[in-house]
Amino acid sequence: MKGSAGRKTFKIAFMGHSQSRSSIEKAAPVVLFVCVHNAGRSQMAAGLLAMHAQGRVSVRSAGSAPASEINPAAVQVMDELGIDLAQEFPKLLTDEFVREADVVITMGCGDACAVYPGKRYEDWEVEDPAGQSVEEVRRIRDELEARVGLLLADLAAG
């Protein structure tokens, strides 16, 4: 597929809610990105990790209080990288999502995420793109991309 600027567009296949851990290849770690509305930060981080991991990591995102749609500015800035978030939708965080994850990355959701033993948890302090200009959302995307790169390198190192 071609994006708006003629670049190749990647459709990101996120893990569906009905998938269980047993249906995922065991060698691929599962990373869950969580923010409040699952409309900006967590969606962008999930799309970036899915693109860069190229199947080596299973990716999910969810929110403690999901919005009704993905932030249009987030969709726009991700499209610039060839990542299509237009078909995504905010998903409610469930205990099942957390139990199935190996790594849980939170971004501003406070105590809404259940804590289970044996999981790796990180809290990324990343500005919320809600109500921000496209230029600011682009800056947030770039910050997320740098963090995703570090996470992927760390996961690859084992």
Judge whether 50 and 33 are in contact, CB under 8 Å.
no
Q: Where does 1-115 show beta strands of DSSP type E?
A: 10-11, 30-35, 58-63, 83-84, 103-107
Please name which of 23, 113, 111 lies closest in space to residue 62, comparing C-alpha atoms: 113
At residue 111's C-alpha, the angle toward residues 136 and 64, to 5°, is 60
Give the catalytic positions in this structure: 35, 109
> Any bridge partners for residue 33, and if so which?
61, 105
97 Cα distance to chain centroid = 13
133 class by beta-carbon count within 10 Å (0-12 exposed, 13-18 middle, 19+ buried): exposed
